[in-house]
Amino acid sequence: MMHSAFATLCQGSEASRPHSIEQVLVGVMQLLPMLDVIPNAAIFIKDLHARYVLANRTLVQRCGLKQLQPLLGKTSAEVFPAQLGPGYTEQDRRVLEEGLVLEDQLKLHLYGTREPGWCLTHKWPLYDHNGAIIGLAGISVDLQTASESHPAYQRLAAVDTHIRTHFHRRVTLGELTRIAGISVAQLERYCKRVFHLTPRQMIQKVRLEHAHRLLQTDLAITDVALQCGYTDHSAFTRQFKASTGFTPRHYREAHH
């Protein structure tokens, strides 16, 4: 997996760690032609101030640019719309200041069509030979379609249907395993292989997709939360911000 290779690069032994972010770039620049031809993954490196120092062609194009150069030296807050960018940069700063490692984070984005697009985001701090953080590396991979050829697909299709029917209430792993006729461990493993998500992420995804649609209406945000299966308004806001980078209210403003 591409993100595994990046994790290895970021978490190398002290002896193999670089002396500066510039030294990191010297090595990665040789791989850039290969990274540029990956159409479903945005790959990037940022410096200690959360500014882009490298990005592949996919990310450049999704920022509405034709060349990498205009992106360099800017933060996400300066590149993405005002309702999205600051949330991305806030996350970057947690990685840079706290050494936070983000893996397999389900993220919702608005593309040019204003339709939601899903990706799994991974971010790792980059360390120098003294153990100090000098930047971060990240990759956001577009969520793939379900693998219908997998032997467990039919069982899991029933699980997916159940989630989409009952997401407005609490859905337990127990009821999902009963539907699929497999153990919790098998359910987790097969869901990752077929849908590329954990069962909890599948529930989260359906709920946030419904929230996206409801936030285009004038329905009160408290009612949106209830209709999406959240009995606690603040829990809905936290989950929504974790996945989109901003609150439901700001998301509504961005869409309008």
Residues 159, 115: one domain?
Answer: no
Helix 153-166 vs helix 184-194: angle between axes, to the nearest 10 degrees?
90
Which of 102, 122, 142 finishes a domain? Answer: 142
Per residue in 26-85, pLDDT (tens digit) is 888 888 999 999 988 999 999 999 999 999 999 998 888 899 999 999 998 888 766 667
Q: How far apart are CA 78 and CA 75, in angstroms?
A: 5
Asked whether residue 147 is domain-assigned, the answer is no
Percent of the chain at pLDDT > 90 equals: 55
Side chain identity at residue 197, one-letter code:
L
Q: How far apart are CA 111 and CA 118, in angstroms?
A: 10
Yes or no: say if 88 and 56 are a contact pair by the CB < 8 Å rule.
no
Structural domain total, the chain: 2
Residue 86 vs residues 92, 166, 250: alpha-carbon distances, Å: 10, 34, 12
Residues 181, 114: one domain?
Answer: no
Residue-number span of the structural domain to which 223 is assigned:
153-255
Q: How far apart are CA 26 and CA 78, in angstroms?
A: 25
Asked whether residue 148 is domain-assigned, the answer is no
Task: Give the pLDDT score at 6.
Answer: 57
Residue 47 vs residues 15, 16, 115, 157: alpha-carbon distances, Å: 21, 19, 31, 43
Residues 230, 163: one domain?
Answer: yes
Is residue 202 over pLDDT 90? yes
Q: How far apart are CA 27 and CA 150, in angstroms?
A: 38
Question: Which segment, 12-21, 107-116, 182-191, 237-246, is predicted with the most confidence on average?
Answer: 182-191
Side chain identity at residue 115, one-letter code:
E
Asked whether residue 9 is domain-assigned, the answer is yes
Q: Give the confidence band of 114 by pLDDT, cuts at 50, 70, 90.
A: low
Side chain identity at residue 177, one-letter code:
T
Yes or no: say if 235 and 208 are a contact pair by the CB < 8 Å rule.
no
Residues 159, 131: one domain?
Answer: no
Residues 106, 86: one domain?
Answer: yes
Residues 129, 172: one domain?
Answer: no
Q: What is the mean pLDDT of the chain?
A: 87
Q: Give the confidence band of 10 by pLDDT, cuts at 50, 70, 90.
A: low
